[in-house]
């Protein structure tokens, strides 16, 4: 009799501990739930979701968060997943939240899935460290080829997302696009930087926004100064959307998205000293592999530097602790030169995944001065000289004969840019030198003058 009474007490206590009464059908978006007409059992700490027929409901023992209202109607969302690495999220609470069920339609093409904690769903090795989809968060995925993920689930109203200090992967929970500045306005003072799957950034400190609009199906890596509870504002006017197109590099264009990166900021005042509109900055590893690039548009610049993809058996990006190298390509002259970073405002020129660095000062190293070209050569009566001047400078051009005697062809102050001059020559036939001189550089080009 005593044993029977003890069993009844333990059973009753355990049942009350894990089950809480609700008056209508209950839906679950995560955790191992048992659903029936009046109760739900869940892992401690998991969120509870319930239908619109109830008011906000706080469960008695405090093991759950405040319940979240959902629409009982099922909705569908198709999410495009490109080959390679990308971020994705859904604005729905999946009807089948178990990750292997949710991703079953794309399992043949899926390589690996990661959450913001570094847990993975890796079918090839039979690893499922994520278990269930968590509403409000996004995921990083690598696909063998383009695919479409179909999500079936419920729309949730007025949900709050717990974001943590440092990095998170944030889901976009609206079914229409929204300008990123408006979407993140509630946490503007906590935001350090946000990146999309292509490493476009929203970086308030430098006034950089290459993301434009947040989009359904996308997810975003976001870094915060401190923990924050976040809810998206109501999205009302589509006319506010950002429509600006990003200028893509044409010379430094072969950059591979490896799924991991760091961000380098270059202030406009630094670039004004070495570049003009349309010039490109490239970042390289120790093997001269291009790992990042961007185009100067007379604004502050953010350059994404891609790290090595751990899922490949070859080097396709920067290793942790590897030194960064920089080059600049001038669009007008089609000339590439080396850039040396004299100082860093933030960072130290070393690659570390998810780091943020800011250049303090560049020093150009012009491998071929400003690429003076002389034509035709040999020359008869007139000679053309072209060059691209990388900085404001005084330029002196002279022609020197075999006796060392010189005639000045040009001596003037010039602003940086591309120049082409034509000179009529009265010199006798013979061998000459064209001497191009600035404050810091000197270039000599042999020419031959022939008779008519």
Give me the CATH number covering residue 285: 2.60.40
Position 3 in a domain: no
Q: What is the pTM of this model?
A: 0.68
Q: Are residues 328 and 269 in the same domain?
A: yes
DSSP annotation of 267 reads: -
356 with 376, same domain: the answer is no
pLDDT in the model for residue 308: 95
Q: Considering 333, 362, 391, which residue would you say is the last residue of a domain?
A: 362
CB atoms within 10 A of CB 23: 11
CATH number of the domain encompassing residue 381: 2.60.40.1930
Domain shared by 267 and 294, yes or no: yes
- Tell me: do 274 and 358 sit in the same domain: yes
Give residues with Cβ within 8 angstroms of 366, minimum separation 6.
337, 390, 441
Predicted pLDDT of residue 284: 94
pLDDT for 353: 95
Of 293, 327, 362, the domain-final residue:
362
Whether residue 376 sits in one domain with residue 328: no
pLDDT of 36 reads 36
Q: Is residue 380 part of a domain?
A: yes
Tokens of 136: 């409000």
Distance CA 383, CA 369 (A): 20
- The verdict on residue 342 lying in a domain is yes
| Residue 421 domain-assigned (yes or no) | yes
Query: Rounded distance, CA 193 to CA 203, Å?
Result: 5
Within this chain, do residues 381 and 402 fall inside the same structural domain, yes or no?
A: yes
Kindly state whether residue 156 falls inside one of the protein's structural domains.
no
Between CA 238 and CA 241 the distance in angstroms is: 6
Which of the residues in the chain have pLDDT under 70?
A: 1-71, 237-239, 244-245, 365-370, 440, 452
For residue 436, give its domain range.
372-449
Whether 394 maps to a domain, the answer reads yes
Contact 397, 414 (CB under 8 A): no
Same domain, 310 and 383: no
Structural domain includes residue 126? no
Do 297 and 384 belong to one domain?
no
Same domain for 352 and 275: yes
Q: Given this model, what pLDDT does residue 186 score?
A: 96
Is there a domain that residue 379 lies in?
yes
What is the per-residue pLDDT for 389? 84
Which of 319, 339, 362 terminates a domain? The answer is 362
Report how many domains make up the chain: 2
The CB-based long-range contact list for 266-269 (8 Å cut-off, 24+ gap) reads: 266/300, 266/301, 266/302, 266/303, 266/358, 266/359, 267/206, 267/300, 267/345, 267/358, 267/359, 268/298, 268/299, 268/300, 268/301
pLDDT at residue 355, rounded to an integer: 95
Average pLDDT of the chain, as a whole number: 83
């Amino acid at each position: 009799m005593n044993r029977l009474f003890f069993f009844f007490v333990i059973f009753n206590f355990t049942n009350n501990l894990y089950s809480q009464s609700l008056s209508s059908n209950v839906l679950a978006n995560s955790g191992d739930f048992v659903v029936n007409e009046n109760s739900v059992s869940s892992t401690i700490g998991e969120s509870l979701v319930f239908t619109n027929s109830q008011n906000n409901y706080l469960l008695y023992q405090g093991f759950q968060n405040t319940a979240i209202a959902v629409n009982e109607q099922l909705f569908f969302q198709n999410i495009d997943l490109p080959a390679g690495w990308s971020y994705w999220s859904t604005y729905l609470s999946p009807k089948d939240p178990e990750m292997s069920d949710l991703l079953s339609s794309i399992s043949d093409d899926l390589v690996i899935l990661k959450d913001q904690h570094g847990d993975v769903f890796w079918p090839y090795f039979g690893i499922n460290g994520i278990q269930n989809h968590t509403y409000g968060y996004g995921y990083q995925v690598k696909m063998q080829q383009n695919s479409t993920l179909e999500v079936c689930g419920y729309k949730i109203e007025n949900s709050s997302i717990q974001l943590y200090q440092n990095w998170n992967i944030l889901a976009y929970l609206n079914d229409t696009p929204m300008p990123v500045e408006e979407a993140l306005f509630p946490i503007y003072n906590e935001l350090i930087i946000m990146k999309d799957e292509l490493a476009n950034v929203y970086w308030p400190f430098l006034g950089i926004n290459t993301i434009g609009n947040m989009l359904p199906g996308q997810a975003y890596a976001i870094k915060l100064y401190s923990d924050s509870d976040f809810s998206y504002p109501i999205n009302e006017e589509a006319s506010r959307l950002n429509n600006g197109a990003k200028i893509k590099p044409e010379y430094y264009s072969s950059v591979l998205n490896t799924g991991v990166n760091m961000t380098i900021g270059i202030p406009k005042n630094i670039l004004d000293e070495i570049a003009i509109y349309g010039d490109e900055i490239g970042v390289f590893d120790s093997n001269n592999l291009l790992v990042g690039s961007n185009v100067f548009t007379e604004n502050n610049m953010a350059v994404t530097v891609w790290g090595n993809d751990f899922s490949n058996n070859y080097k396709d990006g920067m290793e942790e602790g590897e030194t960064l190298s920089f080059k600049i390509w001038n669009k007008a002259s089609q000339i590439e030169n080396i850039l040396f970073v004299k100082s860093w405002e933030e960072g130290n020129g070393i690659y570390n995944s998810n780091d943020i660095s800011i250049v303090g000062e560049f020093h150009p190293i012009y491998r071929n001065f400003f690429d003076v070209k002389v034509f035709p050569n040999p020359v008869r009566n007139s000679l053309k000289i072209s060059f691209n001047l990388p900085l404001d400078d005084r330029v002196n051009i002279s022609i020197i004969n075999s006796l060392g005697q010189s005639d000045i062809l040009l001596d003037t102050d010039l602003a940086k840019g591309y120049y082409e001059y034509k000179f009529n020559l009265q010199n006798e036939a013979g061998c000459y030198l064209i001497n191009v001189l600035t404050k810091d550089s000197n270039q000599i080009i042999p020419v031959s003058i022939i008779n008519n």
